Amino acid sequence: MTKSSEKPINFEEALEELEKIAEKLERGQLSLDDSIRAYERGMELKKICTDRLQEAEGKIEFLSKNSEGNVVRGNAVRQKEKQKTKEDEILF
């Protein structure tokens, strides 16, 4: 099966496979050739994980823009809590 016809892997699957590869490499369970192939696969999985995390970060930053369109830096959950507090102050 070629890479282009493979089902896309999600973040959790990539991370799980990467952890298994790391465990095998740490234990020395693979031959030199298998270790090299595992390392190459691990690098592919690392890229998948990094790309997925960057996508998620971009979505969070997009959702965290203020009314002027400026990105509000910080945790999206904390920002939501701040908004809730301001709304509570207005109500009382």
Tens-place pLDDT, residues 61-83? 666 677 787 766 665 544 445 55
DSSP state of 71: B
DSSP state of 42: H
The residue range of the domain holding 59 is 3-91
Query: pLDDT tens across 3-38, in order?
Result: 545 678 999 999 999 999 999 999 998 999 999 999
Tokens coding 28: 């020395």
User: Which residues, including other chains, have CB under 8 Å from residue 73's CB and lie 6 or more apart?
Assistant: 64
User: How far apart, in whole angstroms, are the C-alpha atoms of residue 66 and residue 7?
Assistant: 37
CATH number, domain containing residue 72? 1.10.287.1040
Domain count, the chain: 1
Provide mean pLDDT across the span 34-53: 96
